[in-house]
């Protein structure tokens, strides 16, 4: 009986791992805006959360455009998707800051990372180890 239970547990864990999703939060500027001259980072950034929504066997990318990097707001969006079963726990959020832009504040990244950890989402910032 223990062997059967162990096999079922392993298959369940494999299914959860397969369902996990990588998704991105990308820093960009609105089309038509110009970058600041070379040497100074642009400050007119917006952020686009490319949120995969799982509806049965189909996955749809739902882009959410944010005027600022607000960890609380981004966390609520991700948390809502996880709570409704639209985004699987165990997924990985990749924050992709632009090297030509100012980038999100470290305090906000830390706050988002801490919140996501509580709901089972891993956060990775591109360009860091």
What's the CATH number of domain 20-125, 1.20.120, 1.10.3470, 3.40.50, 3.30.420? 3.30.420
Q: What is the pLDDT of residues 65-112, one digit of tens each?
A: 999 999 999 999 999 999 988 888 899 999 998 877 888 889 999 999
pTM, entire model: 0.74
**Long-range contact set of residues 56-65: C-beta below 8 Å, sequence gap at least 24:** 59/21
Q: What are phi and psi of 46, to 5 degrees?
A: -125, 165
pLDDT at 41: 54
What percent of the chain has pLDDT above 70? 74
Q: What is the pLDDT of residues 16-68, one digit of tens each?
A: 444 568 999 999 887 776 655 555 555 678 899 999 887 777 888 889 999 99
pLDDT at 10: 47
Block residue for tokens 């990097």: 69
For the chain, the domains span 20-125
């Amino acid at each position: 009986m223990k062997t059967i239970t162990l096999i079922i547990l392993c298959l369940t864990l494999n299914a959860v791992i397969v369902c996990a999703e990588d998704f991105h939060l990308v820093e960009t500027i609105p089309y038509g805006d110009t970058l600041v001259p070379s040497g100074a980072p642009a400050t007119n950034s917006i952020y686009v959360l490319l949120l995969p929504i799982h509806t049965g066997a189909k996955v749809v990318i739902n882009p959410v455009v944010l005027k600022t990097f607000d960890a609380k707001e981004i966390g609520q969006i991700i948390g809502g998707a996880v709570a409704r079963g639209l985004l699987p726990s165990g997924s990985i959020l990749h924050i992709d800051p632009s090297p030509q832009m100012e980038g999100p504040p470290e305090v906000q990244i830390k706050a988002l990372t801490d919140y996501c950890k509580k709901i089972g989402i891993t956060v990775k910032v591109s360009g860091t180890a």
